Structure 1
Amino acid sequence: MIVDFHFYAVAIPAVIILGLAKGGFIGLGNLAIPLMALAISPVHAAAVLLPILLVQDTISIISYRATWDRRNLSILLPGAFIGVGLGYLLASHVSDAGLGFCVGLISLIFGLRRLILERAGPVAAARPGTIFGLICGAGAGFTSMIAHAGGPPFQIYVIPQRLPRDVFVGTTVIFFACVNYVKIIPYFALGQFTREHLFLSATLIPVAILSTWAGIWLVRRIDAERFYKLIYILMIVIGTKLIWDSAGSILA
């Protein structure tokens, strides 16, 4: 893996975006892997980011430890752990190009979906069923394992409930912290915690800490509507590029 200015040019913004997501701007984190995958393979990007995510999760748990929904976690987490196992099986058998295609597709679909939903306007609160929650949890665990992009399946289940902001953020923080800590085992099994990966993670930790606290501070003080729209557009552009590049490698 070649690490140069190009790597840090995408890695630093990716970690800042993750920090804002962990601080409360839920959904932005789905941009991190597609952004880093412009410089290194999705597998390497995911390995570098996992230790960073664990640090950010710890900070977020401290801030939102008193606001989370027990029912949602009891439904979503069992499915998520199954999804992580399925993601491990895929990651150990699929090429970088295949994973890049998956990451791009996730990014593209989520960006388009959010833009369409926001144009449609607000909808009434609803509480999806338990079976659907288990399926969404499995989808979140699976996509989180291969791309740290479990947000879309999780949000499909939780967003319609229209939880209070801090409860929604706190539930998201606890859910993905649990998933990320479970992912340590399959990442070790895949041999992704190499000395080089851990060194790169360590160089980005200061950015991770500062951006997470910044996200916690900002989420309670600004209207993020326009910021979200920009991020969704970037997700669509980057997702499309990854699909195009990966499809070429797969066909070749």
Structure 2
Amino acid sequence: MITLFSFTLTYTDIAVILLVALLTGMSKTGVHGAGMITAPLMASVFGGQQSSGIVLPLLIFADIFGIAYYHRHAAWQYLRILFPWAALGVALGTFVGARIDDQLFKMIMAVTIISSISIMTWLERVKREKIPDNRLFAGGMGLAGGFTSMVGNLAGSVMAVYLLSMRLPKNVYIGTTAWFFAFINLFKVPFHVFAWHTIRWNTVMLDLLTIPVILLGAWLGIVIVKSLSEKVYRWFIIGMTVVAAVMMLT
């Protein structure tokens, strides 16, 4: 057992935290399914709601690397619609998340991931003109993205559904998600600090120790994404989401 910034952790806990940092870095440079795996991993150490506050600073650190590399690749026409609805979803998630226990918290995460898998698989099998490319669809996905981001840092699966449906090229997909999550994660900070009290100085200090591992993950993500074709990349995202769903149900 080791005590770090008032956290009493086993060596296994530390290994999980470092793995989460590595996967978080990878997720921000294109390996987005890796980010969905981090939620159940961190919840296994700190519990559902507490873990979301510990993961958030990790995500913000990693967002910096993602934007630095992919900042020129973004579909702003979609982001301008998503942002207001996502902000409303965060507020709704703050209210709901404060009133549920860890078991229900994990159930919401599992349902979110499984639903996303089903929709993403369906989207890959339908023609482009059948996909609802309108403001109502975008608003609904933005609301769902903000809500799931707040209650479990799981907006990655929701945004994958929306942005894959738009058939964005690989780099534009990554750049758009990088900007979306940079905005939404910063927006969530006051809610975690003042409403849920899940971000404190000791959580930030613990997260700061992981920055080198996040940077390593960001580099690995860039290498992996460069090696994948557009079609393989899309199915890669779906496959990683399936892994996250299995982890939530075991």
Report the TM-score when normalising by structure 2: 0.86
Counterpart of 2:222 (choices 216, 219, 230) is 216
Is structure 2 residue 61 aligned with structure 1 residue 58?
Answer: no
- CA positional deviation for 1:229: 6.2
- Determine whether 1:70 maps to 2:76: yes
Equivalent position of 1:134 in the other structure: 139
How far has the Cα of 1:194 moved from its partner? 2.2
Deviations for 1:155-198, whole angstroms, at most 9, x for unmatched residues? 32221221121111111110111000101110111211223322
The runs of 5 or more residues in structure 1 that have no matched partner are: 242-252
Matches of 1:96 and 1:67 in 2, distance apart?
37
Residue 147 of structure 2 aligns to a residue whose secondary structure is helix
**Residues 7-46 of structure 1 deviation map (CA, whole Å, 9 limit, x = unaligned):** 1232222222221110112333111111221222021211
Residue 18 of structure 1 corresponds to which residue in structure 2? 24
Instruction: Give the structure 1 partner of residue 33 of structure 2.
Output: 27
Number of aligned residues: 239
Q: Which residue of 2 aligns with 1:247?
A: none
Aligned-residue RMSD, C-alpha: 2.3
Q: Is 1:191 the equivalent of 2:210?
A: no
1:68-217 equivalence runs, <5 A: 68-111=74-117, 113-114=119-120, 116-117=121-122, 121=125, 123-124=127-128, 126=131, 128-189=133-194, 190-217=196-223
Output the CA distance in 1 between the equivalents of 2:244 and 2:59.
20
What residue ranges of structure 2 are gaps of 5+ in the alignment? 1-6
* Identity percentage of aligned residues: 25
Are 1:237 and 2:246 matched, yes or no? yes
Post-superposition shift, 1:98?
A: 2.1
Evaluate the alpha carbon distance shift between residue 129 and residue 28 of structure 1 in structure 2; reply closer, same or farther with a 3 A threshold. Answer: same
State the AA in 1 paired with 2:145. A
Q: CA deviation at 1:233?
A: 3.9
Matched residue of 2:92: which SS? helix
Change (3 A) 1:220 1:122: farther
Letter in 1 for 2:181: F
